[in-house]
Structure 1
């Protein structure tokens, strides 16, 4: 009888426990970490004790790691690394720390964003049918390498901040039929290796509903395949650099509209605030997490900080959440807060 009671209790706990996919993603994009470690940067916890960066992130509530991957990157300190092998090694390391994994395909040898979407040097001169094969083969190769390492990414991005498309000029939004084909080759390669991975399409300026509607209306019109709408949200980079309080309502409205209009899940896959204003960044992160969590129907999946550990003293990047003393700032404590708390 006692054994039966224990079995019933175990079954009840299994039913009540949230699945991985139901847990709100609190993430960090840490593509710089291998370079930081290789150049001798030391990480310290809030008490000043030297620690593995993953330990510090986990202790601050981070449960998800996002990693960019480039085709043939250089070894430049700031704009290199993120090769297939390094990405796989980092993904495996994240998994060993109990983290969920997002992979971000830039389809470039370096940074891809609205200002630059350069195709990899090895793909230069290829006609469009060959470019379609390039996208499929490269995506499949990286996904297969992850699978062989025992890593199943929960999310995979096809392109990074593709407001005006990717793999210029062929994949520019001036030619949506071609852009949709390129997206779909990435999608097909991901699903061929990892059917459970959710495919993310990602634009910047998550507060700009008009642009998101235009872009995703076109994605729908031309048959682009995806599962999740990803957004960047950086108040610092908005025109005039306004405080987040001036655009956070627009972000929330856009999240809700995207989820309802396209019946898709939504996620803030990049966010950041000024490192020297930790209280303001803390407040902003709480507000962003709550806007995402409040999306109806449980369609708001999570929030990911871009390079929180990328301290300005090493990276010269002003939107990290790390101080000159090698420790996380108060901003990181926002990920420890339960979203129902005030």
Structure 2
């Protein structure tokens, strides 16, 4: 992918996440009143997740928790897609989870680095296909070229995708990079330019 396309996609996801941050607001019920607002950091003014709010002089309170964050992100995503639809823009496909190995909207949305679960990923293909009545594709999958787990991971994912009629396919990104070329370590060629065993999964 060239730098221009990367920049455009980065700006889109930055806009999506920024909007999700602004949408992650607190809603607390107290008697017959609803208190709404966005909790921000005193220093950088960025929204905070996991904060606890208690009303002055009382015990009533609320927490900005993971469920509220997920609801805010889902609502914002729906709003964005609906706006595109209302303006006659047809969205052919939606990419989920790009560059989110460590999660998003920290600290609540943080996950362990590179904790890629193949079983969960394969199961999620069926979940998404059933829920949204559409085909699913696994895109931009990869692992460091010198990882001892790369070949096994790729074989399990490719075989698993082949076994699912609801899966359109799976493609490696960016296999032609070799030995950490230009700082990118997830190619499928060694530093000598020889293909790694990770590509064996695509032989048949």
8 A contact 2:154–2:201 mirrored in 1: yes
Q: Which structure 2 segments of 5+ residues have no match? A: 17-69, 102-109
Question: What root-mean-square deviation, in Å, do the aligned CA atoms of Structure 1 and Structure 2 show?
Answer: 3.6
1:202 pairs with 2:101: no
1:285 touches 1:331 (CA, 8 Å); kept in 2?
yes
Structure number with larger C-alpha Rg: 2
Q: Counterpart in 1 of 2:153? A: 284
* Per-residue deviation, 1:287: 0.9
2:190 aligned with 1:323:
yes
Matches within 5 A, 1:1-342: 31=1, 80-82=3-5, 109=8, 111-112=10-11, 114=13, 116-117=14-15, 174=76, 176-182=78-84, 185-187=88-90, 199-204=92-97, 239-242=112-115, 244=116, 247-277=117-147, 279-295=148-164, 298-336=165-203, 338=204
| 8 Å Cα contact 1:173/1:179 also seen in 2 | no
Q: 1:308 to 1:299 in 2, by over 3 A?
A: same
- C-alpha separation between the residues in 2 aligned to 1:239 and 1:266? 25
Tell me, yes or no, if the aligned pair for 2:180 and 2:187 is still in contact at 8 Å: no
3-state SS of paired residue (1:202)? coil
Question: TM-score by structure 1 length?
Answer: 0.35
User: SS state of the match for residue 202, structure 2?
Assistant: helix
CA deviation string 1:311-338 (max 9, x = no partner): 34432112111211123212112111x3
How many aligned residue pairs are there? 140
Higher relative helix content: 1
Which runs of structure 1 show a deviation greater than 6 angstroms over 4 or more consecutive aligned residues?
none
Q: Larger relative contact order (C-alpha < 8 A, sep ≥ 6)? A: 1
Say whether the 8 Å CA contact 2:178–2:187 is kept in structure 1.
yes
| TM-score (ref. length: structure 2) | 0.55
